[in-house]
């Protein structure tokens, strides 16, 4: 009877022990392949960035270039997606703004496995909020005029959009970054 009670107590203790949650983000190799495929019209290319630093790092940093006036940076730790950032220069042409939205949505689908409708809705909502916050920042006469919005998803993943008069950026950050 004591053995059975001890086994049950150990079972409850193991069930209550916190375990590291697996990141909902895809791995870097899967992300780059999915992004290239999903945004093929943008001819997305990843090149190893040269990073000069005294600190030793296990990060791989890639510069992202496209044929659509949008660029970015991808940071990986092993095959773990640590950070993705897409940027476009403001004021953006209609073509560049459309391509930015395409890359943003493709990144959400590639990183989180979302369907097209969910990725489009999230990207549009975040961009609209950032534009509204930028407008309000101008009206207030802030020292640093910008609009920023962020979302925190389960699994420690964060999404962010920041817009200024000179550029706009979309960021996906993994839990361990």
pLDDT for 74-95, tens place per residue? 999 988 999 999 999 999 999 9
pLDDT of residue 16: 41
Here the tokens at position 158 are 């964060």
Say how far apart CA 19 and CA 67 lie, in whole Å: 43
Average pLDDT, the chain: 86
Under 8 Å between Cβ of 162 and 170: no
Residue 20 pLDDT:
46
Residue 27 Cα to chain centre, angstroms = 13
Q: How confident is the model at residue 25 (pLDDT cuts 50, 70, 90)?
A: confident
Res. 10 pLDDT band, cuts 50 70 90? very low
Average pLDDT over residues 168-174: 97
| pLDDT at residue 159 greater than cutoff 60 | yes
Of residues 16 and 72, more confidently modeled: 72
SS3 30: helix
The reported pTM is 0.83
Residue 1 has pLDDT above 50, yes or no: no
Least-confidence region, from 14-28, 91-105, 122-136, 138-152: 14-28
pLDDT of residue 9: 40
Decide: helix, strand or coil at residue 44: coil
Q: Structural domain boundaries of the chain?
A: 25-173
């Amino acid at each position: 009877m004591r053995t059975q009670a001890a086994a049950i107590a150990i079972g409850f203790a193991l069930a209550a022990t916190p375990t590291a949650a697996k990141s909902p983000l895809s791995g870097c190799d899967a992300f780059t392949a999915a992004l290239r495929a999903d945004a093929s019209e943008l001819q997305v290319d990843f090149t190893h960035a040269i990073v000069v630093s005294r600190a030793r790092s296990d990060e791989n940093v890639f510069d992202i270039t496209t044929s659509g006036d949008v660029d970015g940076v991808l940071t990986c730790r092993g095959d773990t997606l640590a950070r993705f950032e897409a940027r476009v220069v403001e004021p953006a042409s209609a073509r560049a703004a459309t391509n930015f939205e395409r890359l943003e949505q493709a990144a959400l689908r590639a990183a989180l496995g979302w369907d097209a409708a969910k990725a489009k809705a999230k990207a549009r909502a975040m961009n609209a909020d950032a534009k509204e916050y930028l407008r309000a920042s101008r009206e207030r006469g802030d020292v640093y005029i910008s609009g920023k919005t962020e979302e925190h998803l389960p699994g420690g993943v964060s999404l962010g959009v920041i817009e200024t008069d000179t550029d706009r950026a979309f960021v996906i950050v993994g839990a361990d970054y």
